[in-house]
A and B are shown apart, each in its own frame.
Chain A
Amino acid sequence: DAGVTQSPTHLIKTRGQHVTLRCSPISGHKSVSWYQQVLGQGPQFIFQYYEKEERGRGNFPDRFSARQFPNYSSELNVNALLLGDSALYLCASSQHRDRGGNTIYFGEGSWLTVV
């Protein structure tokens, strides 16, 4: 079975532009989360979606938005890009929304460079 897949793998954008990152969860998984990993740091939680509804949001500005589609795939959108948005954006999926020991599986990430 395919794991979590993300696209594009690498992209370069200019300050002020908009970017859309895409994610397909593992088959059968209904929960998708997005994380930002800045170089040299651990991943930081951005959003969680479950059954197409936003279930949680991290400490990120309104320039960041996301949505989940009926097939459980997801998009992360970032508007008015800043240099500080340069990071690895990781998508993760899990089978349920539970708060227990449900394992979260990560994709390979999308490397975003803002110049």
Chain B
Amino acid sequence: AQSVAQPEDQVNVAEGNPLTVKCTYSVSGNPYLFWYVQYPNRGLQFLLKYITGDNLVKGSYGFEAEFNKSQTSFHLKKPSALVSDSALYFCAVRDNGGVDSSASKIIFGSGTRLSIRP
């Protein structure tokens, strides 16, 4: 079964420094990977996705993610963190449910809280 793991509950970074939020995945077949961000008391906002092609995917708000097939990772990165980047970040994979399922659902990791200090 498809799954994602976010090994860090919290990541703390000083403003202006680069940041990385880690994600590893387990899928059968082609991986369709996503990053979403959730600000306090809000819904999820789409940041970026990997379908195929370039391993470095660029998304919203200056974020990018690096797909690494050999390490089954999809880490989220940003060259220079902003205080406004402080939020909860979710890595996700599309679960196609196998040949007997018509569902197309997203499986989320447990989330990583990113805290950027001024």
Residues of A within 8 A of B (CB): 4, 6, 31, 33, 35, 41-45, 48, 55-58, 88, 90, 92, 97-109, 111
Given A41-B110, A90-B44, A107-B43; A99-B104 close (CB under 8 Å): yes
Q: Find out whether the CB atom of A106 lies under 8 angstroms from the CB atom of B44.
A: yes
Given A99-B96, A101-B51; A56-B105 close (CB under 8 Å): yes
Q: Find out whether the CB atom of A56 lies under 8 angstroms from the CB atom of B46.
A: no
Partner of B42, one of A58, A103, A108: A108
Closest 4 CB pairs of A and B: A56-B103, A101-B51, A42-B108, A45-B105
Interface size class of B (residues with CB under 8 A): 20 to 34
Q: 10 extra interchain contacts, Cβ-Cβ under 8 A, other than A100-B51, A101-B50, A111-B41?
A: A33-B106, A42-B110, A45-B95, A56-B104, A92-B106, A99-B96, A101-B32, A103-B34, A103-B49, A106-B36
Q: How far is the CB of A7 from chain B (nearest CB, A)?
A: 13
Cβ–Cβ < 8 Å partners of B52 in chain A: 101
Q: Output the nearest chain A residue to B42 by Cβ-Cβ distance.
A: A108
Given A42-B111, A56-B97, A109-B43; A98-B49 close (CB under 8 Å): no
A-B contact pairs, 9 of them (CB 8 A): A33-B105, A44-B108, A45-B105, A55-B104, A99-B94, A100-B30, A103-B49, A105-B46, A111-B41
In the complex, A53 Cα to B51 Cα: how many Å?
A: 27
Q: How far is the CB of B113 from chain A (nearest CB, A)?
A: 10
Cβ–Cβ < 8 Å partners of B106 in chain A: 33, 35, 43, 45, 92, 104
CB of B45 within 8 Å of the partner chain: yes
Cβ–Cβ < 8 Å partners of A4 in chain B: 43
